[in-house]
Structure 1
Amino acid sequence: MQTIRSEKHLLDFVTDDALDWFDSEVETLNRLVHQLPSFQKKANDTVHNDINWHNVLVEENGGFWMIDWDDLAVHGDVAMDYSVFLWPLYGSEDWPFWEERLMDLEGRERSERMEIYFRAKLLDDVIDVLADYIEAENMPEVKQRTQQRAKDIHLRAYPEYLRRYGK
């Protein structure tokens, strides 16, 4: 947020009030993590730490392989892995199906943590891309494309975040 605030003049599509709200929302998520019982236990899952659709090879017969295990950790939160992997499905018409499967498989605690991770991911799409927008100023060969992409992501994610979580 310091970078974003220091270069705010580049972001004519972001208000000072919005920046203040971003700060308060980060604090809200931090408070939730410290208050929710499901976050009070030590994370002891073996996790991939980079589980996304690019790291899954699917065979024609429906089998699959996980690749890129260089970030493997034996003390992590599998709910984080799930949230990164399932992010493209979250909020889609297929999400209720997957949400029910996860609840059956993983239970309420992991589902609760996944909800916070999903919320944080969406907030990241609101805020982090603004830093990308600013950093693109120093890369003339990709400036226009990077800034347009960042602005588009922000302008899509911000109202979606407000719709889901309010202001």
Structure 2
Amino acid sequence: MNAKGKSKKMIASIFILFIVALFVAFFVFNSNTLASDEVFNDIDFESEYVNVDGYKLDRETEEIFVKLKLIEDDKKAILEAFKNSKFEILSSSESYVDGNYFINITLNKRYELELDSTQKVLIFSYEEDNDSDHKYYKFSNDNGLFELLETIAKGSVNQ
């Protein structure tokens, strides 16, 4: 192969490499997946004071509220699930939901949350808890949170 052929091949390789790099950069920087610390305003999962409580509203049986009976291990598991969850911002057309779990988390401050387990949506009761301007978040990875809440709710009803 002559020098002209090698030069064209090298330019083509550089061009392809450049296109691939742009493609990767686009997806990395334009990803709409958010970590929990990007969703919760000023959250400190390492806070010394920790409290988690909540209720489940069963819309099918119209049982008003079932208080979740949480032991310390449940509280830690819920916090760990939130900490490791991933979220996406919902558009306003997707954001109407009826939550069936109401969870209060107190760490360095109190977060009052409404969760829809069917659509896997997180709603902050107070806007200042996430600087959201009323944004709702869909779990892209709930890290087992809804299965955990359902197990706890079933145990709370049976006791």
- The question of a shared fold, defined as TM-score above 0.5 by the shorter chain, is answered with no
Q: Greater strand percent: which structure?
A: 2
Bigger Rg, which one: 2
Taking CA–CA contacts closer than 8 Å with sequence separation of 6 or more, which of the two structures ends up with the larger relative contact order? 2
Question: Taking structure 1 as the reference length, what is the TM-score of the superposition?
Answer: 0.26
Structure (1 or 2) with the greater helix fraction: 1
